């Protein structure tokens, strides 16, 4: 008992919310065993993954981190897309959990900023709301593992970076190289797999999905925006050459031109405005010129895309023009009645409209939600709300899914986590005297805002391993940078 008390006393306070969340998951595991499939999952897959993690956490931090990145961004998506194994995404979740254990067994030692504490509190709220709701316990358990395992990786990643086991600049340069890595897969998907079809959603690079059924092209798009923003950050700080910068710029626009990812033209300007705001304010005339050139490039690419994908293939009658197509896309997103009861497709705003109508007379569901997994169409056990509205895809966006599952309180806490992190990065950027570090903080803030906006666009921040990995890396890099500089300047 004395030894146990000593071990517990050494656990960092910031880990307590995460430890409590994992304890809740353990309760859900026992509670969920109601059929053979679930029993095999819990007592077969989980012990195997657990022993694998035990071995994994004994490895050096450098190997652990690169294995996590490789699995989340490349391996899981390729196995899912080309191998047809949808469960491959669980590998990234297990790696995330292993990173948390890696941090836990080393007893932490890092001061948690407010956004990390918000994240921990959010997970506790999600866990409590889920445990308090007795509907579809199996679905709750499966979705809970996916939710929790991925986000707790932030502790291990931050600790590895704080120790200096992996150089953050090397990570930034690796992200810049990612578009080049995508090219062979993009060309194969575009000119071999979907040649002669209009299934452009299957152009996903290494970001997963189904051949002929669409997939993670939006996830790929967000990584292309991130790569472009980080490359610009490194170029302006003299870390990469002009030739390297223009190569990345060209490759990214080629990839976007080959796939149907119109949101790129919204996310990229937003990210660049936030990232470059000090320069825009200092040199408004130059910023206006560069902005006009960027808008021209975006419009030009849109026109080429229109010609390549519609006019040349189907003739003028199938082309409505770049601006008209953009207007149709906006109407598609904002239409509160955009629901197809045959295919189950639900528009972005329509998914929120469905939630608002459902909870109008249910204040408990409005504020607390119906438990994690309630809106998911899981193959193991679909959520109760998902079954009620079948075949509709209620969780078409992360915002809709969180509102259904965790209510206004749980969703609000997650939003506060992101906003607190953005605020912390911007404040650190203003105080930082080193222009390179200041630029890094602003880049992180800009990309976090992109992920916040993506919650109204896709469910990737909740479901896609690669996008959750990007979120974890942004928080961890910011946290580790603040920690290292704070220690070095004391």
CA distance 215 to 178: 18
Per the CB < 8 A criterion, the answer to whether 309 and 198 are in contact is yes
Handedness of CA 466, 204, 74, 440 (dihedral sign): negative
pTM for this prediction: 0.87
Q: What is the structure's pLDDT at 490? A: 41
Task: Render 166-204 in DSSP notation, one character per residue.
Answer: S-HHHHHHHHHHHHHHHHHHHHHIIIIISTTS--GGG--
Task: Render 359-373 in DSSP notation, one character per residue.
Answer: HTT-HHHHHH-S-TT
Per the CB < 8 A criterion, the answer to whether 478 and 444 are in contact is yes
Q: What is the structure's pLDDT at 316? A: 53
Q: What is the structure's pLDDT at 4? A: 40
Distance from the Cα of residue 414 to its chain's centroid: 13
Q: What is the mean pLDDT of each run of 10 residues along the chain (490 residues)?
A: 43 49 50 48 56 69 90 91 80 81 72 89 82 59 66 91 90 96 91 76 87 81 97 96 94 86 88 94 88 78 65 52 56 67 80 90 90 75 80 88 93 96 96 95 98 93 93 96 70
Task: Render 289-316 in DSSP notation, one character per residue.
Answer: HHHHHHHHHHHHHHHHHHIIIIIHHH-G
CA distance 486 to 113: 12
Handedness of CA 75, 79, 80, 86 (dihedral sign): negative
Closest to 178 (Cα-Cα) out of 218, 228, 139, 129: 228
Q: Hey, which bits of 325-422 come out as E strands?
A: none
DSSP 464: -
DSSP 210: E
Q: What is the structure's pLDDT at 305? A: 65
Q: What is the structure's pLDDT at 333? A: 59
Scanning 196-263, the segments in alpha helix (DSSP H) are: 217-236, 242-258
Q: What is the structure's pLDDT at 488? A: 47
């Amino acid at each position: 008992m004395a030894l146990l008390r000593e071990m517990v006393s050494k656990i960092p306070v910031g880990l307590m919310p995460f430890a409590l969340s994992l304890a809740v998951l353990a309760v859900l595991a026992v509670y969920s065993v109601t059929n053979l499939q679930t029993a095999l999952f819990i007592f077969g897959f989980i012990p195997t993954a657990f022993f694998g993690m035990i071995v994994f956490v004994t490895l050096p931090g450098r190997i652990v981190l690169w294995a996590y990145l490789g699995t989340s961004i490349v391996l899981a998506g390729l196995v899912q897309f080309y191998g047809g194994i949808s469960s491959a995404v669980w590998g990234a979740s297990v790696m995330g959990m292993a990173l948390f254990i890696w941090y836990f067994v080393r007893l932490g030692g890092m001061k948690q900023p407010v956004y990390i504490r918000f994240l921990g509190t959010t997970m506790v709220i999600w866990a409590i709301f889920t445990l308090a709701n007795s509907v579809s316990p199996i679905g709750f358990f499966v979705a809970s593992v996916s939710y929790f395992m991925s986000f707790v990786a932030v502790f291990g990643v931050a600790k590895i970076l704080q120790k200096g086991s992996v150089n953050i600049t090397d990570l930034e340069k690796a992200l810049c190289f990612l578009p080049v890595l995508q090219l062979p897969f993009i060309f194969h998907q575009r000119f071999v797999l979907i040649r002669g079809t209009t299934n452009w959603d299957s152009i996903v690079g290494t970001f997963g999905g189904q051949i002929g059924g669409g997939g993670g092209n939006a996830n790929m798009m967000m990584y292309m925006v991130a790569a472009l923003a980080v490359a610009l950050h490194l170029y302006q700080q003299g870390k990469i050459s002009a030739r390297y910068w223009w190569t990345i710029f060209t490759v990214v626009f080629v990839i976007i031109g080959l796939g149907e990812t119109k949101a790129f033209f919204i996310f990229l300007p937003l990210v660049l405005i936030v990232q470059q705001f000090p320069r825009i304010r200092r040199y408004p005339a130059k910023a206006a010129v560069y902005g006009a050139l960027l808008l021209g490039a975006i419009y030009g690419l849109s026109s080429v895309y229109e010609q390549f994908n519609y006019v040349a293939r189907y003739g003028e009658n199938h082309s409505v023009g770049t601006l008209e197509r953009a207007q149709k896309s906006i109407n598609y997103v904002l239409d509160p009645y955009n629901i197809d009861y045959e295919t189950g497709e639900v528009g972005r705003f329509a998914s929120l409209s469905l939630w608002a109508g459902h909870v109008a007379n249910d204040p408990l569901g409005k504020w607390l939600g119906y438990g994690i997994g309630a809106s998911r169409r899981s193959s193991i056990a679909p959520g109760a709300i998902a079954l009620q509205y079948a075949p509709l895809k209620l969780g078409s966006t992360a915002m809709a899914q969180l509102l259904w599952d965790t209510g206004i309180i749980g969703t609000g806490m997650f939003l506060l986590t992101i906003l607190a992190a953005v605020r912390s990065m911007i404040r650190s950027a203003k105080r930082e005297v080193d222009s390179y570090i200041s630029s890094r903080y602003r880049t992180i803030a800009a990309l976090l805002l992109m992920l916040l906006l993506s919650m109204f666009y896709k469910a990737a921040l909740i479901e896609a391993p690669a996008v959750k990995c990007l979120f974890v890396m942004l928080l961890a890099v910011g946290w580790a940078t603040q920690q290292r500089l704070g220690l070095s300047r004391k």
